[in-house]
Amino acid sequence: MAGFSLYCHRYSDEIAGLDMIGDGIGVGIVGLGGMGNLHARSIRDLGAEIVAGVDLVPEQRDRFAGEFGARTYETHEELVDDDAVDAVIVTTPNRFHEPITVTALEAGLDVLVEKPLAHTLESAERIAETAARSDGICMVGFHNRHAASMAMFDEQHARGRFGDLTHVEANYVRRRGVPGPGSWFTDPELAGGGALLDIGVHALDLALYALDFPDVVEVSGVTRTTFGTSEEYADPDGFGDNWDAEAEAYEVDDSVSAFIRTADGQTISLEAAWATNREESMDFRVRGTRSGAQFDIGDTELRILEAGTTGCDHYADVAMTGDSAVTGYAEQDEQFLEAIATASVPETNTVAEALTVQRVIDAIYRSSETGRAVQLEASPLVEARLEQSPRLD
C-alpha cells in the first residue's frame, strides 16, 4: 500500500515518547502479515509481551516466532486457549473478523479488531451483540483518528474554535492503488467490498467522528468498477506484486461517491478510490459557523479558515503544524493497552461507532444498487447497550 512503508519507518519514533502501559499484558496476534507485524512491534515497544501468533502460512509463523519469540498456531481457537493470552489483535481479511473476534470475546479476552468491523452489516451486528455481553473490551482499528492533523483538529474543535459544524468533505483518493486480481482485497467473499470498505471506511469514520457521530437519516451513493482489469492502475509500491492476470473477474468497487445527511441537517460528501485519473488526496474540509478547517490526514498541517475585518478579502487564515512522527498506530495501540490496564471502556474507536460506520457503508451500497437514496432509522438498540460495559458494573 502506498504510504504503508512510510508509516512502518516512522512508528518507532512515534512510540518513543509513550508510556510503557503494557507491562504484564500478554497479547496474541491473528494474521501475521504487514499489519499484524506492525501492531506486534508497537505493542511490544509499549511494554506488552507478544506471546502468540496465528497464521495459515508456515513461513509467516516461522518469521513471527523468530522475531518475537512467540508461540505460533494455525487456528485462532488454539490461541484463545493459550492461558498466557490476555488480549487479541485481529488483522485478517474482513470475512474472518467475526469468528475470531466472537470467539475471543466469548472467552472474556480483550480484542482490537482492524477496520472495517466486518465484511457485512449482519456480521458487524453479531460482533456488536457479542461485545455487549462480553466481559472483554472490544476496540476497532481506526488509527487515523490519532494522526497528527486529526489530533490538532480535535483540540481546536473541543475549544469551540469552529462553532457548530455543518458540512464535511472527506476524500481518500489514490491515483494508482488497485490491489489487483489475486489478492483478497478484490475477492468479494473475503473482503465484502472494494475501495469503500478498504479506504473509504477511513474517510467516512473520520467524517462521522468529526461530527460527534450524529444520527444519519439519509444516504445516497454510487460505486463504480472501472480500473480493476487494467494493470497500469495497480499500486506500484506493493500491490502490483499481487497482480494475477489469470485471476477470476474483478467484482468489487474501485471508487465511490456518496452524500450523507444527518437528523440535525449536517451533511457529508465522501469520495474514495483505489485508482482515478486525478491527484491523490486524503483531504478533509470541515465547515463551521465560526471557522472552517482543511487538512490532509497523511500530513501534519492543519489550516483554519476564518473571517477577519482587515484586508480587502476579510480572510484570516491560520496554519498549525503537528508532530511528523505521529501516524496514529502507536497512539491507538496505547489506548487499547490503557483500557485493558484500567479495566475501562476505550475513549474512542468503540464498537458502537464502528457499527454506525458499517450501517452507512451498507446504505451506500444499497443506494448504488437501487439508484435511490436510502432512509435510515435511529441507531439500533445494541449501540445504546454498548454505552455501558459489563466491566464497569
Do 244 and 388 lie in one domain? The reply is no
Can you tell me which residue has the cell 468529526?
A: 210
Q: Which three cell numbers stand for residue 63?
A: 518469521
Q: What are phi and psi of 137, to 5 degrees?
A: -90, 155
Helix (H, G, I), strand (E, B) or coil at 263: coil
Q: What is the four-CA torsion angle of 171, 176, 180, 184, rounded to 10 degrees?
A: -40
Q: Is residue 320 part of a domain?
A: yes
CA distance 169 to 161: 18
- Report the mean per-residue pLDDT for the chain: 88
Its pTM stands at 0.90
Phi and psi at residue 264, to the nearest 5°: -95, 5
Other C-beta atoms closer than 10 Å to the C-beta of 235 total 23
What SS3 state is found at 105?
helix
Q: Using an 8 Å Cβ cutoff, are 355 and 308 in contact? A: no
Reported as half-sphere exposure (CB side, CA atoms, 13 A), residue 353 has a value of 25
**Which CATH number is 40's domain given?**
3.40.50.720
54 and 69 share one domain:
yes
φ, ψ at 180 (rounded to 5°): 95, 150
* Alpha-carbon distances, residue 276 vs 1, 227, 232 (angstroms): 16, 8, 11
Claim to verify: residue 162 and residue 243 sit in the same structural domain: yes
Phi and psi at residue 229, to the nearest 5°: -100, 5
Identify the CATH number of the domain in which residue 151 sits.
3.30.360.10
Query: Would you state the pLDDT for residue 388?
Result: 41
Same domain, yes or no: 35 and 71: yes
**Cα–Cα distance for residue pair 244/367, rounded to 1 Å:** 31
- Confidence (pLDDT) at 317: 77
Same domain for 266 and 344? no
Q: Which residues of the chain have pLDDT under 70?
A: 1-19, 180-181, 236-249, 309-314, 324-326, 379-393
The neighbour count for residue 241, using CB atoms within 10 Å, is: 12
Q: Which ranges constitute the DSSP H helices of 234-328?
A: none
The Cα 198–Cα 257 span in angstroms is 14
pLDDT number for residue 180: 66
CA-CA distance, 117 to 80, in Å (whole number)? 19
| Distances from the Cα of 53 to the Cα of 25, 47, 288, angstroms | 15, 17, 46
Do 84 and 134 lie in one domain? The reply is yes
Chain segment 239-286, per-residue pLDDT in tens: 545 566 566 567 899 999 999 999 999 999 999 999 999 999 999 999
Residue 297 has φ and ψ, to the nearest 5°, of -65, -20
Q: Is 354 contained in some domain?
A: no
pLDDT of residue 209: 97
Do 96 and 85 share a structural domain? yes
Distance CA 179, CA 244 (A): 10
On whether both 166 and 304 belong to a single domain, the answer is yes
Residues of the domain holding 18: 4-144+330-348+378-392
Whether 355 is in a domain gets the answer no
Please tell me whether residues 276 and 155 are part of one structural domain: yes
Residue 8 in any domain: the answer is yes
Q: Are residues 156 and 63 in the same domain?
A: no
In this structure, is residue 229 part of a structural domain? Answer: yes
Cα→Cα distances 264→33, 169, 220, 302, Å = 42, 17, 17, 26
Same domain, 116 and 168: no
Q: Are residues 303 and 160 in the same domain?
A: yes
CA 42 to mean position of chain CA atoms = 17
Q: What is the pLDDT of residue 233?
A: 81
User: In the structure grid, which three cell numbers stand for residue 178, read together?
Assistant: 488497485
121 lies in some domain: yes
Q: Structural domain tally of the chain?
A: 2
